[in-house]
Amino acid sequence: MRVLVAMSGGVDSSVAAARAVADGHEVVGATMKLWGGESDSGCCSVADADDARRVAAQIGISHHVFNFSDDFDAQVVAPYIAEHALGRTPNPCIECNRHLKFDRFLVRARSLGFDAVATGHHARVVEEGGCFRLRRGRDAAKDQSYVLSMLGQAQLAHCLFPVGVLTKDDVRSEARRLGLRTAAKPDSLGTCFLPSAQSRRELFARRAALHPATVQDADGTPVGRVDALELVTVGQRRGICVLATGGKRRYVTAVDAVRRTVTLGGRDDLLVGELELTDLTWVAAAVDPGTPVLAQQSAHGVPVPAVLTTRTHDAGGKSATVRFDQPVVRAAPGQTVALYDARDPDVLCGAGIAR
């Protein structure tokens, strides 16, 4: 099989490429240049591309660089800023996977005659009776199935995740055994194109207007101000300057971009019994209303028992409600909820939080 490996310059994709070679595939490596306009200090740096190129040489495969920076800007960065301007909090990693890694990159691979793409994600694909299942990676602490929950059959049929059966320690041990230069390279953290809080503020300031907003209590009583509503997100605790609150921790419970208000409350004010979901993307067939599921609201969040119910009946079946067995702290609108089979580690679907 001809396999194009997405090599980021990290240890996971390095070992993924080496494993694809060891499995007897005809392998080529490619690094996606996604960012580097205003800053080259986030993802896709020259150093990362150089690490990928050198690892490719070590394992005896050719290496290429694909410049998808325009697509990344249009499909990930611009929507990220636009959503924050509306008081929502999108997940750029999921949108990058949706539009770049498993769309633009996969389409390029197929047009070049490759049968599949491989990445360093900690997840697994299993075929059962012609149906492709997306499962959690073996290493629970590094599992990345959440950020792949938007994948469907068309993508999974052409995806390989060679390190999904390994723990992170196994990956590094294998990299050391092979003498790969990325064996001890630290994992990347945070939003790849925003390496710091300051760079986030600078990016927003360059591309969109930042608006001050009133900080208020749940009853509407003003208690402070923020200088940039677009940089505030539901669930946030730090960085909100307010009047003395008697030592009680306060959290952002709502961001209203129209009225330019930020509402604060206690942790209990973030608890919800259900979430309205939109844009459901099923890995395989949709499950019936009333099906028990496990719902996960963030990449490293704890999956909690819930039941999927249908409240709205749009033509595409893209809206639903997930009702939790016990109240949970909700994520911000715009974030993704991944639903898992309650009986096994299969991902059922990914969906956005409507409210």
User: Is 43 designated active site?
Assistant: no
Helical pair 11-22 and 46-59, crossing angle rounded to 10 deg? 20
Distance from the Cα of residue 267 to its chain's centroid: 25
Q: Report whether 143 contacts 122 (CB < 8 A).
A: yes
Rounded to the nearest 10 degrees, how much is the dihedral formed by the CA atoms of 259, 265, 267, 272? -50
Which residue out of 43, 93, 159, 192 is catalytically annotated? 192
Q: Report whether 305 contacts 294 (CB < 8 A).
A: yes
Name the β-bridge partners of 329. Answer: 271
User: Is 131 designated active site?
Assistant: no
Which residue out of 43, 93, 96, 349 is catalytically annotated? 96
Distances in Å between the Cα of 74 and the Cα atoms of 96, 137, 204 are: 11, 30, 15
From 262, 347, 265, select the one nearest 303 (Cα to Cα): 347
The phi, psi pair for 201, rounded to 5°, reads: -60, -40
Cite the active site residues: 96, 192
